[in-house]
Structure 1
Amino acid sequence: MLLDVNGHQVYCYTGGKAFDPGLPVVVLIHGAQNDHSVWALQSRALAHRGYAVLAPDLPGHGRSGGPPLSTVEAMAAWVIAVLDAAGVSRALLAGHSMGSLIALEAAHVAPQRMSGLALLGATYPMRVSDTLLDAARTKQDAAIDMVAAWSHASWLPGPSTAGPGASVINTARRLMQRMAARGANGLFHTDFSACNAYANGEAAAASVACPTLFVQGKKDMMTPPRSAQLLTGGIKHATVVGVDAGHAMMSEAPDAVLDALLRLAAEPARFS
């Protein structure tokens, strides 16, 4: 689905179903140097279970136009503008990694628009090492290799996952390479710099009133569960779910991630 947001064309994947804002809406926000496709398994499953799904490509990513936004606050405002453009009054926001900060900030600035909040691979502060920041700016191929390796707990998914035998690391690497080739110049560095600079996490967490779920990869090396304590402690009513995966949990533990999202979407009162 194509939307006009702030004068630029925005692409939103809707999970293979026509988008109906009259249904319960779930918005899936991707992380740095990614696009909507990281949510491919969850978005289709949600759409075919009676939810209206919006999995947008952030500006300058994938099929969405406009320059990449340089701050989490600007990206959160953009997400609210996407809701407006799609005719959505309230939605459950789910964000992964950088997307978790975007979802958190959006819930802070527009609490009345949120029916629920799911933060996957979240941490705060979301510090990025100087080495990785420099590589993202000057040696993008090396940065992509680092992130692809550090985001995964294993090279191959288990036999019960979708596409058994496919290399999840190489799939993630190819996506980031495609973003580098087709996206805005310096996209990786812009995204990482936004994560590194975001300073409103504690205040945003303290303000969240909607049902909230944290999904954490038990083997996450990028955002280890222990690093999320300022957020999990700040949102006192939040539920924390651990899945057997690294940072790229949507591909490494797709069913467990989907189950957690479905429980939040179907029974939000249990998470408040």
Structure 2
Amino acid sequence: MRPGEALGRAASEWVVTRRVEVNGIQVRYREAGAGPVVVLVHGLGCSADYWVRNGPPLAAAGLRVLAPDLPGFGRTEGPWRGLTVDEQATALAAWFDAMDLPPAVCVGHSLSCQTVVDLAADHPGRALALVLAAPTGDRSEKRRIREIIGFARDMTREPLSLVPWIAEAYLRAGLVRWFLTWWKAKHHDLFGTAARVPLPALVLVGERDPVVPVRFARSVAQALPHARLEVIPRAAHAVIFDAAERFNAAILDFLRETGHAGPSPGSLQLPPSPTNSRGRGDLGHQGADGLSTTF
């Protein structure tokens, strides 16, 4: 199959809404491809739809890629009080079990990096390796205010099309749930937990990320026993979107390094999309289920 055909097939699989019952709750997820399993876990307030520029290309490269909506976000119900990081990891482990998934490479973004680290440490048998993109977890009091300000500043550094989409996702989640989830994550011991993870890990951070400074991402990589740091030039906090091609390539390179890419991984392509006034990709038209239908 030619690369363009593989990407088209993966994109058509990705747009299908799928659900599985987990402890009495219908969890929505995206899935595409076949091969070694990669699980993408969205950041605070977002959903599986956020991986639109990563799921299909990685699937087209010879991977089975899945992305769930965590409880309370996207189209999965959850308590208004929000979940702690430990509770999110427990919910993610239950989803793994409901899906009967083999151990997978787990990819987190922002706050969900804490979730997948917790999953690897406290729920063995689910994760094979970790990719942490723009990991949060700085518990210092001065960083709390700076992080909130950083989220606001980040909106000026992202593609224009991403700003209203993120705003809509946050409103869907509910600002109270968003804040409580963020606040509870500030009480999670990321570094103590990371020290208990014996798995290979890749930490990625954007050079221009105002939420997660490069120095903090470096400290996370140093806390993990078997990790390395990669800084993506010119990228901001939404590195999975505004530097998607580099991000996807970094994941595939990491899978090759760790032996989790399968016998013959394919080449990567990025879904083409219109450019906005900042010269970056546009999410395109949002479908009825919240997923961009422009590839």
TM range (shorter): 0.7 to 0.9
Equivalent residue number for residue 165 of structure 1: none
* Contact 1:111–1:210, Cα closer than 8 Å, also in 2: no
Q: Aligned equivalents of 2:132 and 2:98: distance in 1?
A: 23
Q: In structure 1, what residue type is equivalent to 2:95?
A: V
Distance (Å, rounded) in 2 between the aligned partners of 1:204 and 1:147: 25
Match of residue 106, structure 1, among 119, 134, 157:
119
Preserved CA contact (<8 Å) 1:28 1:55: yes
Q: Is the 8 A contact 2:131 2:202 kept in 1?
A: yes
Superposition deviation, residue 57 in structure 1: 1.1
Q: In 2, distance between residues paired with 1:257 and 1:185?
A: 29
Shift of 1:121: 0.2
Percent identity between matched residues is: 27
> Distance between the aligned counterparts of 1:151 and 1:116, measured in 2?
30
Q: Distance between the aligned counterparts of 1:259 and 1:185, measured in 2?
A: 34
Counterpart amino acid of residue 103 in structure 1: V
* AA aligned opposite 1:6: N
Partner of 2:153: 149
Report how many residues are paired. Answer: 239
Structure 2, gaps ≥5 residues long? 1-17, 261-295
Q: State which of 137, 148, 152 in structure 2 corresponds to 1:124.
A: 137
Which of 85, 88, 104 is residue 72 of structure 1 equivalent to? 85
Q: Aligned-pair distance for 1:85?
A: 1.0
SS at the partner of 1:50?
Answer: coil
Higher helix share: 1
Specify the SS of the correspondent of 1:41. Answer: coil
Separation in structure 1 between the aligned mates of residue 172 and residue 94 of structure 2, nearest angstrom: 24
Distance 1:216 1:185, change over 3 A: closer
**Once the two structures are superposed, what CA deviation does each residue of 1:198-244 show, in whole Å capped at 9, x if it has no partner?**
12x12211111111100111111100110134422222321211102
TM-score for the superposition, normalised by structure 1:
0.79
Q: After the TM superposition, which segments of 4 or more aligned residues of structure 1 sit over 3 Å from their partners?
A: 130-133
Task: Provide the rounded CA distance (Å) in 2 between the counterparts of 1:104 and 1:180.
Answer: 24
**Where do 1:24-63 residues align within 5 Å?**
24-63=36-75
Q: List alignment gaps of at least 5 residues for structure 1.
A: 134-142, 156-167
CA distance in 2, matches of 1:211, 1:11: 28
1:92 correspondence with 2:118 = no
Q: Distance in 2 between matches of 1:252 and 1:148?
A: 16
Contact 1:76 1:105 in 2 (8 A): yes
Deviation at 1:172, TM superposition (A): 3.0
- Out of 175, 195, 211, the position equivalent to 2:200 is 211
Distance 2:191 2:222 in 1: 9
Q: Is the alpha carbon distance of 1:126 and 1:55 closer, same or farther for their aligned partners in structure 2, counting shifts above 3 Å?
A: farther
Match of 1:228 in 2: 217
Matched, 1:188 2:178: yes
Contact 2:133–2:240 under 8 Å retained in 1:
no
- Aligned partner of 1:268 in structure 2 is 258
The answer to whether structure 1 residue 175 and structure 2 residue 165 are counterparts is yes
- Counterpart CA distance in 1 for 2:162 and 2:74 is 14
Structure-2-length-normalised TM-score: 0.74
